[in-house]
Amino acid sequence: MSDTSHIEARDLTAEELAAIEEKYDEGAATRQVSDGFAKFLRYVALAFATYHYLTAGFALPPDFWHMGWHLSGLFILTYALFPLFKSKGDKGAKGGAFRLGGVPYFDILLMMLGTASALYLGFAWHGVPALGIEEQTFRMGNPNTYDMVFGCILILLVLDIARRTLGWILPLIISVFIAYALFGPWFPGLLQHPGVKFRTFVSSMYFPQEGIFGVTLWVVSTIVFHFVLFGVIAQRTGLGQLFIDNATILAGRYTGGPAKVSVVSSAFFGTISGSSVANTVSTGALTIPNMKRLGYPGHFAGGVEAAASAGGQITPPIMGAAAFIMAEFLEVPYTTIVIAAIFPALLHYVGVFAVVHLMARRLGLKGMSAEMLPKLGAVWRDGWANLVPLVGLLAVLFSGYTPYMSAFCGISLALIAGMSRIKTPATLIYPALFIGFVVWKYLGGGFEPGMSALLVAGAVLACFNPQTRTTLPEMADTLETGVKYALAVGAASAAVGIVIGVINTTGVGFRIGFMVTQAAANLGSDLHGLFTFGAWELFSVADLTLFISLVFIAIACILMGAGVPTTALYIMLVSVAQPALAQLGIPPIASHMFVLYYGVVAEITPPVCTSAYAAAAIANSNPFRTGLSAFSLGLGKVVAPMAFVYAPVLLFVSSTGFDLWEFTYTAASCIAGVIALSAAVVGYWLAPMGVAFRVLMAIAGLVFIAPSLQADLVALLIASPAIISQLVQSRAAKAQAV
């Protein structure tokens, strides 16, 4: 497809936007089924959502049952909605001799086998004497025949649902890990190990605590799903539109207005959406056509939206699924991760904002006219109630309650804001039930008086929402959509559990970590002579080893990130990178953030960058060129993670402590570096910039990221010819204009 950015921009219909989201978002269904089967799947999805919602608020069943029910829902919905191989022919095939309601009998069989293998663990946990099955404690490490059969089925089918929802790349990577566990003696050098017996392997992968029923599936089934559901409900009931309108009011009037609206609205939207594609389609539907009308090229307009939307995964307070898993890995409260993510997210948006502003200056683009801007009073008069659920969720989350309790309260308030109206007495049953729940928790000592009062007030306030009421069938559609969004992340979390099981069983993480640091140390020793002048050295061997190790890990993140979701990529890489970075003395939270950040960068790195492709579909531009634009816009965040590894103070909560002066200076240095890189990308700062000066600014930007006074002075020295040239050109242009 050629870039057709010169074509007149037009607003896409809701159906066209839904089609784009379905094409590029892994959460969309790809198979049409008969009306009867669709109704059955709707009931399954609603039961799935209701089960998770109620257990979040009242009580979680034992882990093996809870994760078993979650997996069962994944198997039923995935095998019904995702075909064995994606093909146009499967879209409309609803009947036939080998199909039930449009679903092949083969997939129905796999659905039943998957459900049975997921639930068997719960049924057999305390033993089944009639079948000769002992209690699970006695079978750990010594599985019986039933365990082996169901364990093998579960391993194979988990890989299959990951493949159906996400493609071949993730299952192939996991298969390499499985081969490594089973065929350890055949691997060379340091990677060689005695090998894991097949029975031991199946037991480790199948029984809880590690493997498939491990921490990743627990986090997704207990926390992540609820936040995905909250994000979808809040977006559909009006919070997303409130964010877009306010972003337009804040940024629309300035140079390159619609592009800045895209950045600001995506930053807001990141608070409720962990999906980059959903973020791109929701905000891009408005901002991309507006950017094209203003004069931005189509590929650049799409790139802005994709780069800004990818930041949703690292934007507090509701980040992507990986953030919750990070909290479990580090054994810290989720709020600690949120606080640590504040500056990295800010740095990301500063970089995108700077490129957008400089590009608008370079192209001579103006802001939006006054009549195009929404009216502040009208926006808030109509949409204020949509903030109630978000405030309620954040208040509970930051008061020390569990993330799933905060999600339960947020979802409850979102349902009330959407469906309850004071003028329709029958709908007041929803706030009444929630208020009853809050009172019950208060009387049982679960909620403090202040929190109880806040939640009751929120439930009452939400009933006065002036917007059109969401009907029960509309809300059911929304819940069904939320469940479909969660299928891919659920499949990925179950499959990646195998990787964690293999790493824990074989110790391969420490082996690879040692190999990385050794290779970096050898290369650092070889390069050390280039930076040594007599008795004076610019960089020590230790400095070079750390830098080269970080570069190796960053490249691995970006290369492996082609087609692998951020969450799965983070889990795999942090299991390998953490030992390497720990050996180099990097605080755990800094190393985890480093890997997560590069997982997000991979989302906008060609050739596989689904957010950019979705934006290209809206912009009617060349997908690959849009991906390159998105990557160049996100260039600032490619180097930013280096900064918080070298200066963990930027994460606020690092074990190295927090010093305000050190933070202020380091943050200013990083922002200067990102702006210098942005100027180099655009080729404009105060005036057009030649190639030589762009190279100088790029090098200076990289050196600015290193947090030291010496590095900043060197960076200024490098950038000074470009800065002087820009000042001279700018003054000459002003004099000419006069």
Amino acid letter for position 689? M
Residues in Cβ contact with 646 at an 8 Å cutoff, skipping those fewer than 6 apart: 706, 707
DSSP 54-108: HHHHS-PPPHHHHHHHHHHHHHHHHHHHS-SS--GGGTS----TTEETTEEHHHH
- Type of residue found at 492: A
pLDDT of residue 427 exceeding 90:
yes
The CB density around residue 21, as the number of other CB atoms within 10 Å, is: 23
Q: pLDDT (tens digit, 9 = 90+) per residue, 216-228?
A: 899 889 988 898 8
Q: Which of 469-483, 577-591, 634-648, 665-679 has the lowest mean pLDDT?
A: 634-648
pLDDT at 242 over 70: yes
SS3 state of residue 2: coil
Share of the chain above pLDDT 70, in %: 91
Q: Which residues, in sequence order, are CB contacts of 190 under 8 Å at separation 6+? A: 511, 514, 515
Q: Model confidence at 271, in pLDDT bands (50, 70, 90)?
A: low
Predicted local distance difference test score (pLDDT) of residue 3: 45
Cβ–Cβ under 8 Å, residues 494 and 466: no
Question: What percent of the chain has pLDDT above 90?
Answer: 30
Residue given tokens 């299991």 in the structure block? 575
- SS (HEC) of 116-131: HHHHHHHHCCCCEHHH
Residue of higher predicted confidence among 738 and 462: 462
d(CA 601, CA 634): 7
CA 344/CA 316 separation, integer angstroms? 10
pLDDT tens for 346-402 read 888 888 888 888 888 888 877 777 777 888 899 999 989 999 999 999 899 889 898
Per-residue pLDDT reduced to its tens digit, 429-440 = 999 999 999 999
* pLDDT of the residue at 321: 74
Residues belonging to the chain: 738
Q: What share of the chain is helix, strand, coil (3-state, %, to 5)?
A: 75, 0, 25
Output the pLDDT for position 148.
94
- 100-109, 305-314, 333-342, 409-418: least confident range: 305-314
Q: What's the confidence (pLDDT) of residue 89?
A: 44
Residue 6 predicted with pLDDT over 90:
no
Indicate the pLDDT class of residue 136, thresholds 50, 70 and 90: confident
Mean pLDDT over 312-340 rounds to: 83
Asked if pLDDT for residue 619 goes beyond 50, the answer is yes
Quick one: pLDDT at residue 574? 82
Q: Mean pLDDT over residues 571-598, rounded?
A: 83
Per-residue pLDDT for 98 more than 80? no
- pLDDT tier for residue 561 given thresholds of 50, 70 and 90: low
* CA dist., res. 259 & res. 291, Å (int): 6
Q: Which residues contact 358 (CB under 8 A, 6 or more apart)?
A: 678, 679, 682, 684, 685
467 conformational bin, left if phi > 0, alpha if psi -120 to 50, beta if neither: beta
- 466: alpha, beta or left? (left if phi > 0; alpha if psi -120 to 50): alpha
Please list, in sequence order, all residues whose beta carbon lies within 8 angstroms of the beta carbon of residue 619, skipping any fewer than 6 positions away.
5, 284, 288, 292, 298, 299, 301, 302, 305, 626
Mean pLDDT over all residues of the chain? 84
pLDDT at 655: 66
pLDDT at 274: 54
Render pLDDT for 148-162 as a digit per residue (tens, 0 to 9): 999 999 999 999 999
Mean per-residue pLDDT, 170-184? 91
Residue 457 has pLDDT above 80, yes or no: yes
Whole-angstrom Cα distance, residue 102 to residue 427? Answer: 37
Q: How far apart are CA 300 and CA 615, in angstroms?
A: 10
- Structural contact between residues 279 and 237, judged by C-beta atoms closer than 8 angstroms: no
Separation between Cα atoms, residue 377 and residue 104, nearest integer Å = 54
Token pair for 138 = 């006695």
pLDDT average, residue stretch 607-630: 83
pLDDT score, position 557: 77
Distance CA 454, CA 435 (A): 11
What would the mean pLDDT of 702-731 be, rounded to a whole number? 86
Query: Distance between CA 35 and CA 516 in Å, rounded?
Result: 54
Each residue's pLDDT tens digit, 660-688: 888 888 889 889 998 999 899 888 888 88
pLDDT band at 8 (very low <50, low <70, confident <90, very high): very low
Query: What is the model's pLDDT at position 472?
Result: 93
Mean pLDDT on 225-236: 86
For the segment 53-94, what is each residue's pLDDT rounded down to a tens digit? 999 999 899 999 999 999 999 999 999 999 887 654 454 444
Asked if 50 and 483 touch (Cβ cutoff 8 Å), the reply is no
17 confidence band (pLDDT: 50, 70, 90): low
